[in-house]
Amino acid sequence: MQHDDWKDLVASDYKKRGRRKEVFLTDSNIELADVYNQEELAKTGFDPERDLGQPGQFPYTRGIYPAMYRAEHWAMGQYSGFGNPEATNERFKYLLSKGQTALALALDLPTQLGLDSDNDLADGEVGKAGVAINSLRDMEAIFNGIPLDQTRQIFTTANAIGPIMLALFLALGEKQKLDPAKFSVVLQNDILKEYVARGTYIFPPTPSLKFAIDTVEYCTKHHPHFKPIVICGSHMRQGGATAVQEVAFSLSNAQAYIDEAVSRGLDIDSFAPSLECQLSVPMNLFEEAAKYRAFRRMWARMLKERYGAKDPKSMQCFIRVFTTGYTMTAQQPLNNIVRVTIEALGALLGGVQSLSCNAMDEVISIPTKEAAQVALMTQHILANETGIADVVDPLGGSYYVEALTNRIEQEALEVMKEIAAKGGAQKAIEESYYQNLCRKGASEYQQQIEKGERLIVGVNRFVDTENMVDAECFKSEEGVQERIIGKLNELRGERDNELVARTLKRLEQDVRAGKNSVPALVECAKAYATIGEMCKVLGDIWGYYQEGVSWT
């Protein structure tokens, strides 16, 4: 049967069922054919030799390792951290006992913003969105009985304070008498996306970007196995960006970071293997799986063609994924277990290297211990009971998936051209180009839900008001903020304050002289200087960023 004849049958089938033929779109507004075949795939310009290849080989569409999950499952993490360091230590030990293979440390907002817990601006937020960390003493408490070499890696969301967290981990490793070669630290340390989506910036963008790359320069020379920066599209995606925009924004931001590192005289192959990327995974299963395949390919081509990378490891993009908070619903929270499972499946079918799953109650509060365990067990079930890890790139060769992968790449490249025309990522963000697209996307998403055009089970369809399931919310200990501040005051009374003053003075001198800040920060951390004290030194030099004020 000819394809046109088959199309007539499709139209007839709609008519028989009393339905009008609809236009189906992905979340990135890519129009979908009724069915995918060789003809539809050819329309995207797909070339199997150029675009597909084999797993573990350029352009890495099918995965960065030849055997992928057959040889080793992805790193299974759970984003954790709340209250005081002792509570976070307890949760870490619990998760490790349940088979978690990596730790992801959540910092509270004051810590992310470089504020000590007794700062007036920190009042009411201490220990709420993550754990409060003021100094090396808190790091010692968080990892009490947990050697840094016990897990595959330790990840933290430090962005504006990325180099400071690196210093704290190095100082902690020394306290634990560990060779830094024996453990691995992963720093999010992506400041550009903070001006777009999260807002936890401190200093103006130009010095902030250079500050972030201090970690890349330092780790390249001293700890090349560390991961000094993770370029994140996930927060911009949760802020309203589409899958296509998430890819384009992330790769354009990566160019800004790589350009800064190269400008310092670093050879691309000396640091590119240490770079990682973090993407989100909402509910559109096939678009998300195709997105990771397109992203890997675009990364490989960018590193080879734009930067002249020769080491295959430079072109192999390690992708870490967090399932998506905005798809979770407070209504019927048990449904979120299903949503997280589908999102995790999309990430794994796309071949990611690290995965953290939302707990079903995370939309309501910090996850309870039981909800966190269910989220972790979701990964173990997927890994061991479904067969998805038995074959490398199980979707490879699918007419639909390969066509969608090509379309995402093509459309993302067009967005990247627009960003380049504006002068690159920094200029585009300064002009609110990213922000406007995110706001537009977020607004359209919400309007679709309110109009019933986007169906959300339990929210605007299949609503059950009679049998509501109440999820038990996490309850933090009362008086946590007061106890944390009390311990901070004890620290200030017990430490060598003259030594602290000397290390902070060295930090000021090094930064003013244009030196890499990390060595001085390590000395500050070892002296038990607080994060707030270190940030004040930097703020006195660079100033503080306010949205709407021109960049410096």
* Any domain includes 475: no
pTM: 0.93
DSSP H helical ranges for 333-455: 335-349, 369-385, 399-421, 425-430, 433-451
* Any domain includes 379: yes
pLDDT at 94: 87
Burial (CB < 10 A; 0-12, 13-18, 19+), residue 261, is buried
Report d(CA 102, CA 353) in Å as an integer. Answer: 12
pLDDT at 22: 79
* Any domain includes 547: no
Report d(CA 349, CA 366) in Å as an integer. Answer: 28
Residue-wise pLDDT for 112-122, tens only, equals 999 999 999 99
pLDDT at 81: 65
CATH of residue 101's domain is 3.20.20.240
Residue-wise pLDDT for 286-300, tens only, equals 999 999 999 999 999
Helix axis angle, 369-385 to 85-97, nearest 10°: 30
* Any domain includes 284: yes
- What is the domain extent for residue 377? 55-451
3-state DSSP of 17-32: CCCCCCCEECCCCCEE
Report d(CA 348, CA 238) in Å as an integer. Answer: 19
Flag residues of the chain having pLDDT under 70.
1-4, 78-81, 467-477, 548-552
* Any domain includes 531: no
190: alpha, beta or left, given left = phi > 0 and alpha = psi -120 to 50?
beta
Close Cβ partners of 214 (under 8 Å, ≥ 6 residues apart):
163, 516, 517, 518
Radius of gyration for the chain, computed over Cα atoms and rounded to the nearest angstrom: 24
* Any domain includes 27: no
Q: Are 220 and 268 contacting, i.e. CB atoms less than 8 angstroms apart?
A: no
Count: domains in the chain: 1
pLDDT at 478: 75
Residue-wise pLDDT for 459-492, tens only, equals 999 998 776 666 666 566 678 899 999 999 999 9
Residue-wise pLDDT for 310-346, tens only, equals 999 999 999 999 898 889 998 889 999 999 999 999 9
Sheet holding 154-156, edge to edge: 79-80, 103-105, 154-156, 185-187
pLDDT at 532: 98
CA angle 229, 285, 383 (to 5 degrees): 70
Q: Tokens 């949503």 map to which residue?
A: 339
* Any domain includes 40: no
pLDDT at 552: 42
* Any domain includes 47: no
Q: H or E stretch including 231?
A: strand 230-232
